């Protein structure tokens, strides 16, 4: 008889992870945030917005990387004046970013943008915030209300003594109530901090109190690769809690790598799986095949495939068979041959030289048998460039 209370195990969920936090839906261009819609990946340009050619070039690079929304900063009138020219040359929703000057927010709303992002704590008071809300409502445009630990209102810093999660959430709720009093509900909220623990708890607190979609991110994360690790450490608990409707990884320098990092974090937390996941054992002393060569070849053969499938490649007989059974397609290999598993059952043995071909053949069979698991794509050629976009 065990000295442990095993009833805890009997009542524990067999499949880990919390369901998605249900939020109201908010439309941003051709994307819908919240509800059961995908967690959209976005980024922000680093160019001077008024330099249309440079900005559009960078947005095109982000689009090619898979970016689904893009934000540009609008601190000056000439930046607002460039928005129309930028918008007509890109194929993803355009968001304008406003800080300090509420008049720039009002000016930007006169252009064909898809969303406005403001930080109410630094635009000079509630009356100015109301003016922006009223114009956004009149234009039928959504708004991201960005609460940031680094620019929290003075009265809240004094009340809580420092920019802690309760202070950030109270700030967000303050502006939520002001906007709702104006009859405006097309809002998305972010509660960002460069401190991982502060950000995680702030998003958790907000989700307990409100049903608006959230934009999640760790602000000022720094330089890769540490910044990617820090973002993953902060965003994974939030995502595993079911919180988050759009994501941005903030990296120093070129924004294009932010896209791959975001999709990797979504994939690892199983909140948005849109490509094959390759599972491989470490190269320990039990390894009995050229695993690095096999994985490198598989990566080339799987490039571009948008299939939510787990492929496990194990190179020894200790854990290999059991772990291969847990994947959609798996192989336990050693001593010059491999056993291929599909859906938990061994289907055949192949020589080591045929492992990659054998796995690809089983992948084709899995794809034919599971059409319902394959994400739909829709085609967009708004800019004259054909591209497939995961929905």
pLDDT number for residue 285 = 61
More confident residue, 229 or 381: 229
Torsion of CA 150, 235, 178, 25, to 10 degrees: 150
Mean pLDDT on 252-263: 96
Q: Of the ranges 60-64, 204-208, 267-271, which one carries the lowest mean pLDDT score?
A: 267-271
Reply yes or no on whether the pLDDT at 385 is more than 60: no
pLDDT number for residue 269 = 94
> What tokens does 195 get?
């401190």
Sorting pLDDT into bands at 50, 70 and 90, what band is 380? very low
More confident residue, 2 or 120: 120
pLDDT number for residue 389 = 43
Handedness of CA 125, 127, 128, 134 (dihedral sign): positive
Q: Rounded CA gap, 138 and 56, in Å?
A: 28
Model pTM? 0.87
Sorting pLDDT into bands at 50, 70 and 90, what band is 1? low
- How many other CB atoms are there within 10 angstroms of residue 155's CB atom? 12
pLDDT number for residue 115 = 97
The CA-CA-CA angle for residues 250, 255, 296, to 5°, reads 100
Mean pLDDT on 163-176: 95
Q: What is the mean pLDDT of the chain?
A: 88
More confident residue, 269 or 292: 269
Reply yes or no on whether the pLDDT at 212 is more than 90: yes
Mean pLDDT on 144-153: 88
pLDDT number for residue 51 = 96
Reply yes or no on whether the pLDDT at 161 is more than 70: yes
Q: Rounded CA gap, 206 and 219, in Å?
A: 17
What percent of the chain is helix, strand and coil (3-state, nearest 5)? 40, 20, 40
The answer to whether the beta carbons of residues 310 and 328 sit under 8 Å apart is yes
Reply yes or no on whether the pLDDT at 384 is more than 50: no
pLDDT number for residue 24 = 97
Sorting pLDDT into bands at 50, 70 and 90, what band is 388? very low
Q: Rounded CA gap, 262 and 232, in Å?
A: 9
Q: Of the ranges 11-25, 108-122, 219-233, which one carries the lowest mean pLDDT score?
A: 11-25
Instruction: Give pLDDT tens digits for 186-195.
Output: 999 999 999 9
Sorting pLDDT into bands at 50, 70 and 90, what band is 320? low
Q: Of the ranges 5-9, 342-346, 370-374, which one carries the lowest mean pLDDT score?
A: 370-374
10 Å CB burial of residue 83 (0-12, 13-18, 19+) is: buried
pLDDT number for residue 60 = 98
pLDDT number for residue 337 = 82
pLDDT number for residue 5 = 83
């Amino acid at each position: 008889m065990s000295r442990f209370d095993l009833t805890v195990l009997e009542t524990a969920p067999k499949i880990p992870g919390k369901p998605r936090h249900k939020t109201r839906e908010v439309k941003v261009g051709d994307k819908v945030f919240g509800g059961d819609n995908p967690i959209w990946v976005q980024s922000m340009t680093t160019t001077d917005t008024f330099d249309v050619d440079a900005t559009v070039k960078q947005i095109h690079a982000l689009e090619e990387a898979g970016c689904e929304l893009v934000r540009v900063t609008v601190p000056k009138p000439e930046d607002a004046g460039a928005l129309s020219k930028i918008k007509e040359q890109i194929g993803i929703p355009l968001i304008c970013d406003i800080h300090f000057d509420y008049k720039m927010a009002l000016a930007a709303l006169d252009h064909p943008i898809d969303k406005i992002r403001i930080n109410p704590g630094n635009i000079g008071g509630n009356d100015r915030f109301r003016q922006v809300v009223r114009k956004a409502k009149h234009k039928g445009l959504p708004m991201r209300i960005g609460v940031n630990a680094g620019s929290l209102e003075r009265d809240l810093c004094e009340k809580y003594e420092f920019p802690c999660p309760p202070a950030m959430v109270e700030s967000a709720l303050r502006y939520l109530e002001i906007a709702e009093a104006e009859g405006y509900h097309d809002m998305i909220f972010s509660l960002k901090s460069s401190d991982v623990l502060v950000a995680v708890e702030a998003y958790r607190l907000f989700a307990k109190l409100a049903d608006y979609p959230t934009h999640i991110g760790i602000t000022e994360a720094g330089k890769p690769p540490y910044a990617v690790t820090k973002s993953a450490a902060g965003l994974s608990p939030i995502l595993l809690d079911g919180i988050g409707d759009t994501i941005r990884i903030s990296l120093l320098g070129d924004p294009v790598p932010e896209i791959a990092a975001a999709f990797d974090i979504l994939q690892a937390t199983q909140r948005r799986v849109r490509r094959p996941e390759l599972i491989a054992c470490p190269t320990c002393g039990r390894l009995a095949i050229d695993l690095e060569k096999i994985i490198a070849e598989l990566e080339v053969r799987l490039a571009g495939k948008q299939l939510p499938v787990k492929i496990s490649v194990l190179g020894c007989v200790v854990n290999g068979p059991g772990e291969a059974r847990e994947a959609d397609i798996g192989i336990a290999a050693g001593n010059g041959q491999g056993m291929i598993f599909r859906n938990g059952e061994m289907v055949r043995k192949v020589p080591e030289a045929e492992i990659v071909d054998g796995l690809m053949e089983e992948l084709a069979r899995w794809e034919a048998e599971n059409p319902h698991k394959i994400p739909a794509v829709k085609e967009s050629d708004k800019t004259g460039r054909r591209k497939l976009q995961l929905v």
